Chains A and B, each alone.
Chain A
Amino acid sequence: MDNPQEVAGPPLLDVVNVSKRFVVRGSRQSVTWRRHLTAVDGVSFSLRAGEITALVGESGSGKSTVARMLSRLETPSGGYVNLHGERVRFGVPGGRRAYLRQVQLIFQDPFASLNPVHTVRYHLERPLRVHQHLRSQQDVERGVAALLEEVHLTPPSRFIDCYPHQLSGGQRQRVAIARALAVGPKVVLADEPVSMLDVSIRLGVLNLLAQLVEERGLALMYITHDIASARYFAATTHVMYSGQLIESGPSEDVTQSPRHPYTQLLLESSPDPTRSRKRIPLSALEVAHGNIGTGCRFQPRCPYAMPRCAEEASPRQAVGGTHWAACWLLAPVPADGQ
């Protein structure tokens, strides 16, 4: 985790130019009045074994939609995804189980992601039976106990028969993590895994995830709106704005020398103890996700907006190593669009 420059192997999960368009209907359910909302627009990144990748962005930027597409709850409208170098066929229900055996999702809200009518045992033994094909009661029992121990819910016998409402938020999220681990995944997508938890227990859950990445060699995607936590937790950070990636690179570079104006604003507004600059409330950044056309989506709010920004969005501008940002400010000096 601490050596992001290390040369990694081939990506486990390769996301290429993926988009998602939702059809939004008006209150009057007319056939003609339809609007399309592009929640995710041409997003590309890859996840590698044993590595934590952060996806950072404010509310509504499309982070969850990315996670839901990658866990096959939604079908992308464009682009493609490779798992182990093999194209994922989204429309086809056939490979769904095999895919989910590799890729799992941890939901944001542990109060909502566990069914209140089922016990911890039920939640954990189902994936063991479905994916690991455990049949005998003893095997399943042993598997459930091992999972509970792995997420530090010990002794397992104390939690195994609990209903979700008998557990605290942190304990529930650990059960949700155990449930994701039960299928034996290679890739775990964690959608704001600690944002619903009490501040005092967040670190414990994050440390658990880091430990699992190390021990199991997982590829973890850590979705968050807290860019400061991405710095400490993830090797690579992607910053998302209004459905697009606008900056990415090694977390240290992105958070210490942000190049995109949006990333800079995001960092200034985040409560990072190591910085003491004036804070801009995030609400001031709120954007009308209107139709910007081909221009930069951040342009209406950008303090450095130029005429060019309204016409055309900047391509990725490399700023050293794997660090890049999509902003015309970073274009080579004779800005003739090379």
Chain B
Amino acid sequence: MSAISGGAAPVPVGTRVGSKKRYAAARQSRDRFVRFWRRLTQSRKTFAGLVILLIFLLIALFGPWIDSQSPSAMSGAVLQGPSTAHWLGTTQTGQDVAAQLLDGTRFTLLVSFGAAAVATVIALIIGIGGGYLGGIGGEVLSMLSNCFLVIPALPLVIVLAGYLPNKGGISLILVLALTGWAWGARILRAQTLSLRRRDFVLAARVAGERSWRILFSEILPHVMPIAASGFVFTVIFAIVTQSSLAFLGLGDVTTWSWGTMLYWAQNNSALGLGAWWWFVPPGLCIGLVGMALALINFGIDDFVNPRLRVTDLRRRGRRAARLSVAEVLAPHASDSAVVEAVGK
């Protein structure tokens, strides 16, 4: 984190020499990202989650190149188990399950990540905006998110989906975003309410900053981990809800997603026919992605959890403690690091 040269000399605190001023801002945000990334991947659980998710994202991205069969094309090979011709076997109408899975992965992830992105933006605007500005407007926004919070999501989605003139990806994203933003908004609002009383926010006000600048520059960086955690949860919510909707036949059954695969498998009594290769893969995918996202959230939790985060003081204390242990074990190995810890 710093460019402290080693040595026993009483190195002054924070000896971080500003070399190229032009790049200071860029380096600043890069530093922050690198620190975030390092702490995120520190835990093995989080790392595993990231790897699993990455595999799914690659599948979604390159699906058609992996298996070029059409997911809807029928053939004479009906209800066959996995083979080299059909990696995951075929359906009752001779469609290739692997091709459906690849196509479905793309659609499912696109819709869930899209819905989570829209929901997170809504949550940020309503949560932070309402929390910081307060007053009657803030109360109204808070009430709005509480209303959405108590409405059971799935029935609402079903009702909305039933009235949709078009059942494509975009409208699905909007429906899921509309039912999934309130939880995040509530947590962001609570966080913002405590942040706005903090001295550094008051100091920015005394420095003459405008409200929007305080929101973006002083408060937003502090709620980012919480927003990220909310995003991850909303992705899980969107995958599950979307699949339930499709499974109930309320989605567009001609678009391939994990949910529609389960819908067709159920409609053709795949379980009764013992065609496990038809319904296990989409179910497994839902479970795996859900697990990966939950694992990633553990890493973000490390950021959000006030007990682990608290002030820099605590963190400095922990780092100093860790480094002094290292110093005991290898007195000369971490010279510069020790100077850094002692210097602070």
Task: Please report A residues at the B interface, Cβ cutoff 8 Å.
Answer: 68, 71-73, 96-97, 100-101, 104-105, 107, 109, 111-119, 121, 126-127, 130-131, 137, 141, 157-162, 164-168, 171, 176, 179, 182-183
Closest residue to A98 on the B side, CB-wise? B208
Evaluate contact between B208 and A96: CB separation under 8 angstroms.
yes
A-binding segment of B12-20, B131-139, B287-295: B12-20
Evaluate contact between A100 and B206: CB separation under 8 angstroms.
yes
Evaluate contact between B32 and A105: CB separation under 8 angstroms.
no
Evaluate contact between B206 and A101: CB separation under 8 angstroms.
no
A-binding segment of B257-265, B312-320, B323-331: B312-320
Q: Which of B1-34 contact A (CB under 8 A)?
A: 2, 12-18, 21-22, 24, 28, 32
Residues of B within 8 A of A127 (CB): 207-208
Residues of A within 8 A of B15 (CB): 158
Option from A97, A115, A126, A166 in Cβ contact (under 8 Å) with B13: A166
Q: Which of B181-220 contact A (CB under 8 A)?
A: 198-200, 202-209, 217-218
Evaluate contact between B203 and A171: CB separation under 8 angstroms.
no
Known: A104-B206, A126-B207, A161-B16. A113 touches B199 (CB 8 A): yes
Known: A160-B18, A165-B312, A171-B13. A113 touches B200 (CB 8 A): yes
When chains A and B are docked, how far (Å) is the Cα of A157 from the Cα of B24?
12
What's the least CB distance linking A138 to chain B, in Å?
9
Evaluate contact between A109 and B222: CB separation under 8 angstroms.
no
Evaluate contact between B21 and A141: CB separation under 8 angstroms.
yes
Q: Which of B2, B18, B28, B313 has the most CB of A within 10 A?
A: B18
Q: Which of B285-344 contact A (CB under 8 A)?
A: 311-313, 315-316, 344
Evaluate contact between B312 and A121: CB separation under 8 angstroms.
no
Evaluate contact between A166 and B313: CB separation under 8 angstroms.
no
Evaluate contact between A162 and B14: CB separation under 8 angstroms.
yes
When chains A and B are docked, how far (Å) is the Cα of A157 from the Cα of B21?
10
Does B274 lie at the interface of the complex (its beta carbon under 8 Å from any beta carbon of A)? no
Beyond the given A157-B17, A165-B312, could you list 13 further A-B residue pairs with CB under 8 A, ordered by the A residue number? A73-B202, A104-B206, A119-B24, A121-B24, A137-B21, A158-B16, A158-B17, A161-B24, A161-B28, A162-B16, A171-B13, A171-B14, A176-B203
Evaluate contact between A166 and B2: CB separation under 8 angstroms.
yes
Q: How many chain B residues touch A (Cβ–Cβ < 8 Å)?
A: 34
Evaluate contact between A73 and B206: CB separation under 8 angstroms.
yes
Evaluate contact between A158 and B203: CB separation under 8 angstroms.
no
Evaluate contact between B21 and A117: CB separation under 8 angstroms.
no
When chains A and B are docked, how far (Å) is the Cα of A101 from the Cα of B207?
8
Does B221 lie at the interface of the complex (its beta carbon under 8 Å from any beta carbon of A)? yes
Closest residue to A164 on the B side, CB-wise? B312
Residues of A within 8 A of B316 (CB): 165
Option from A112, A168, A183 in Cβ contact (under 8 Å) with B200: A112
Closest residue to B211 on the A side, CB-wise? A93
Residues of B within 8 A of A96 (CB): 208
Evaluate contact between A107 and B202: CB separation under 8 angstroms.
yes
What's the least CB distance linking A44 to chain B, in Å?
23
Evaluate contact between A109 and B208: CB separation under 8 angstroms.
no
What's the least CB distance linking B4 to chain A, in Å?
10
What's the least CB distance linking B18 to chain A, in Å?
4
Evaluate contact between A119 and B28: CB separation under 8 angstroms.
yes
Residues of B within 8 A of A179 (CB): 203, 207
Q: Which of A113, A141, A157 has the most CB of B within 10 A?
A: A113
Evaluate contact between B312 and A116: CB separation under 8 angstroms.
yes
Evaluate contact between A117 and B221: CB separation under 8 angstroms.
yes
When chains A and B are docked, how far (Å) is the Cα of A213 from the Cα of B203?
21
Option from A119, A141, A160, A183 in Cβ contact (under 8 Å) with B207: A183
What's the least CB distance linking B113 to chain A, in Å?
26
Residues of B within 8 A of A119 (CB): 24, 28
What's the least CB distance linking A63 to chain B, in Å?
16
Q: Which of B13, B22, B198, B221 has the most CB of A within 10 A?
A: B13
**Secondary structure call for the B interface:** helix
Residues of A within 8 A of B14 (CB): 158-159, 162, 166-167, 171
Give 26 A-B contacts (CB < 8 Å), ordered by A residue.
A71-B206, A96-B208, A97-B208, A111-B312, A112-B200, A113-B200, A114-B203, A116-B200, A119-B24, A126-B207, A127-B208, A130-B208, A137-B21, A137-B22, A157-B17, A157-B18, A158-B14, A158-B17, A160-B18, A161-B16, A161-B17, A162-B14, A167-B14, A168-B344, A179-B203, A179-B207
When chains A and B are docked, how far (Å) is the Cα of A286 from the Cα of B198?
27
Option from B22, B32, B200, B205 in Cβ contact (under 8 Å) with A115: B200
Q: Which of B77-91 contact A (CB under 8 A)?
A: none
Option from B22, B208, B222 in Cβ contact (under 8 Å) with A100: B208
When chains A and B are docked, how far (Å) is the Cα of A263 from the Cα of B93?
95
Residues of A within 8 A of B22 (CB): 137
Residues of B within 8 A of A109 (CB): 199
Closest residue to B311 on the A side, CB-wise? A111
What's the least CB distance linking A170 to chain B, in Å?
10
Evaluate contact between B204 and A115: CB separation under 8 angstroms.
yes
Residues of B within 8 A of A107 (CB): 199, 202-203
Option from B28, B198, B206, B315 in Cβ contact (under 8 Å) with A105: B206
When chains A and B are docked, how far (Å) is the Cα of A97 from the Cα of B211?
12
Q: Which of A68, A131, A158 has the most CB of B within 10 A?
A: A158
Evaluate contact between B199 and A112: CB separation under 8 angstroms.
yes
Residues of A within 8 A of B203 (CB): 105, 107, 113-114, 176, 179
What's the least CB distance linking A298 to chain B, in Å?
31
What's the least CB distance linking B295 to chain A, in Å?
26
Residues of B within 8 A of A157 (CB): 17-18
When chains A and B are docked, how far (Å) is the Cα of A126 from the Cα of B209?
8
When chains A and B are docked, how far (Å) is the Cα of A126 from the Cα of B202?
14
When chains A and B are docked, how far (Å) is the Cα of A41 from the Cα of B1?
50
When chains A and B are docked, how far (Å) is the Cα of A197 from the Cα of B13?
16
Closest residue to B14 on the A side, CB-wise? A166
What's the least CB distance linking B276 to chain A, in Å?
51
Residues of B within 8 A of A72 (CB): 206
Closest residue to A126 on the B side, CB-wise? B207
Residues of A within 8 A of B24 (CB): 119, 121, 161
When chains A and B are docked, how far (Å) is the Cα of A177 from the Cα of B162?
61
What's the least CB distance linking A204 to chain B, in Å?
15
Residues of A within 8 A of B199 (CB): 107, 109, 112-113
